[in-house]
Amino acid sequence: DAKTTQPPSMDCAEGRAANLPCNHSTISGNEYVYWYRQIHSQGPQYIIHGLKNNETNEMASLIITEDRKSSTLILPHATLRDTAVYYCIVTPGGSQGNLIFGKGTKLSVKP
């Protein structure tokens, strides 16, 4: 079973920041938080991952709370092409690596 809880859907205005929350209250010390997204029936796409420190790359920022029980994915300037289902996945680093997808958040970016 997925170890994460995400809102089923969110809207965001084009050009604004999209903040996608994820709860993972049972996360273990060796588990990482990964974010992937899936644009309509395409293969999922990796966005970012982190253990306990905040992370930033060219696509997004990941903010993990100090107790690691929740995190927020931030898309700083959402565009229409960011409309997708966003999955927050918790998985042990260095393990088999298979991803357990939960329900995800359907983000709709509107003009």
Partner 1 sequence: AAGVIQSPRHLIKEKRETATLKCYPIPRHDTVYWYQQGPGQDPQFLISFYEKMQSDKGSIPDRFSAQQFSDYHSELNMSSLELGDSALYFCASSLTKGWDEQFFGPGTRLTVL
- Which CB sits closer to partner 1, 42 or 53? 42
Give the nearest distance from C-beta 87 to partner 1 in angstroms: 7
Question: Please, what's the b/e burial string for 20-56 (b: 16 or more CB within 10 A of its CB; e: otherwise)?
Answer: bebbbeebeeebbbbbbbbeeeeebeebbbbeeeebe
Give the 3-state DSSP-derived string for 6-33, with helices as H, strands as E and coil as C.
Answer: CCCEEEEECCCCEEEEEECCCCCCCEEE
Nearest distance, CB of residue 91 and partner 1, angstroms: 8
Please, which residue, 14 or 32, has the CB nearer to partner 1? 32
Least Å distance, CB 13 to partner 1, is 27
Residues in contact with partner 1 by CB under 8 A are 34, 38, 41-46, 49, 87, 92-104
Residue with tokens 């929740």: 70
Q: How far is the CB of 98 from partner 1 (least distance, A)?
A: 4
Q: Distance between CA 56 and CA 24 in Å, rounded?
A: 20
User: With respect to partner 1, which residue has the nearer C-beta, 43 or 111?
Assistant: 43
